[in-house]
Structures are given as C-alpha cells and as structure tokens.
C-alpha cells in the first residue's frame, strides 16, 4: 500500500493565502456597506432599523474573525514550511515571495486593502461624529425637560424668593 506524500509548494500556499485574503476583503466590503447604511440611519434617527443593522454588523464581524483565524494559521504554516519564522510576513514580503502573475494579483489586492482601510477610517469617524452629535442633542433635550442647568440663586439679596428665569416641562402647573 502506498501512502502518498503531499508536497505543498510555496506558490501553492501563496495562492491559497491570496484566495483567502480576497474572500476576507469581500467581507470587509460587506461591513463597509453596513457602516454606510448605519450612517444613513443615524442621520434619519431610525433607531429600530439601526438596531437590526447592528445585528448584521456583529454577524459580519464574527465571520471576519473566523477568516482571520484561518489566515493566521495559513501564515504560520507558510512561515514554518518556508523557514520564514524570523521574517515579518507583511504585504511587501508576501508579494516579493510570489511569482508572476500572482505577484501582480497581490499588488492589486493590497492596493484595494489600503483603499478599504482609508474608507473604514472615514466612515468610522463620520459615524462617531454623528453619534456624538446625537448624544449632545439628547442631553440638551433632557436638560430642557428637567431644567437641570437653571442659572442663579433661589433667593434674591433682600431675602425674597426669586422667580425662576425659565421652567422645565415638569415645572409647569397643569
């Protein structure tokens, strides 16, 4: 009986890694679409729809995390089998190890990764600003309702009670 020995070449490992990275990038594009949709819902203040979208976001993030585990295992295998344990397996190193046409494919892929990274920074900053603005607005409304920040003392200098300068919603006589 013959037990076949499977020899995996460097280029085969790099090809597998490329396909996995491309799949991972597709998931990041899905996540970007969700973040843009969240931005639109934040602007419209559609909270229920936002809650549903956040569930989709969490699901997509979990998928990406699973892909990252597989990617890390593949990178470890690549480093171990090719004696690259002491080298940093970054985009430049991986691209330099690949032969054409895979090398060109990696270059294009990593350019796309850079674009997606910049887009994530932009949309995350935008959504953060929208959330902060929404929080400020909610705080303003609470302050108006409760009149927490009513200025001045309760008594005047002559000992008489000062009339409030303004009333919160709960201070009105019904």
Q: Identify the DSSP state of 92.
A: H
Q: Identify the DSSP state of 4.
A: P
Alpha-carbon gap, residue 120 to 127, rounded angstroms:
10
Sorted by where each begins, the domain ranges of the chain are 10-151
3-state class percentages of the chain: helix first, strand second, coil last, to nearest 5? 70, 0, 25
Q: State pLDDT tens for residues 15-52.
A: 999 999 999 999 999 999 999 999 888 888 888 898 99
Please tell me the pTM assigned to this model. Answer: 0.70
Q: What was the pLDDT predicted at 4?
A: 45
Q: Which residues of the chain have pLDDT under 70?
A: 1-8, 144-157, 159-174
Buried b (16+ CB within 10 A) or exposed e, 96-133: ebbeeebeebbeebbeeeeeeeeeeeebeebeeebeee
Q: 168 and 144 in contact (C-beta within 8 Å)?
A: yes
Q: What was the pLDDT predicted at 155?
A: 60
3-class SS at 51? helix
3-class SS at 165? coil
Q: 120 and 112 in contact (C-beta within 8 Å)?
A: no
Q: What was the pLDDT predicted at 157?
A: 67
């Amino acid at each position: 009986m013959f037990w076949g020995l499977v020899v995996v070449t460097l280029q085969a490992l790099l090809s597998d890694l490329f396909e996995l990275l491309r799949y991972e990038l597709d998931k990041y594009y899905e996540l970007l679409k969700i973040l843009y949709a969240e931005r639109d819902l934040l602007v419209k203040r559609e909270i229920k729809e936002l809650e549903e979208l956040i569930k989709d976001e969490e699901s997509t993030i979990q998928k990406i995390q699973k892909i990252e585990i597989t990617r890390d295992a593949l990178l470890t295998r690549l480093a171990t089998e090719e004696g690259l344990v002491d080298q940093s397996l970054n985009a430049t190193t991986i691209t330099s190890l690949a032969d054409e046409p895979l090398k060109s494919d990696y270059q294009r892929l990593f350019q796309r990764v850079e674009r997606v990274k910049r887009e994530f920074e932009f949309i995350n900053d935008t959504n953060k600003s929208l959330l902060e603005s929404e929080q400020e607005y909610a705080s303003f409304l609470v302050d108006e309702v409760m009149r927490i920040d009513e200025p001045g003392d309760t008594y005047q200098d002559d000992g008489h009670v000062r009339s409030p300068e303004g009333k919160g919603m709960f201070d009105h006589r019904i």
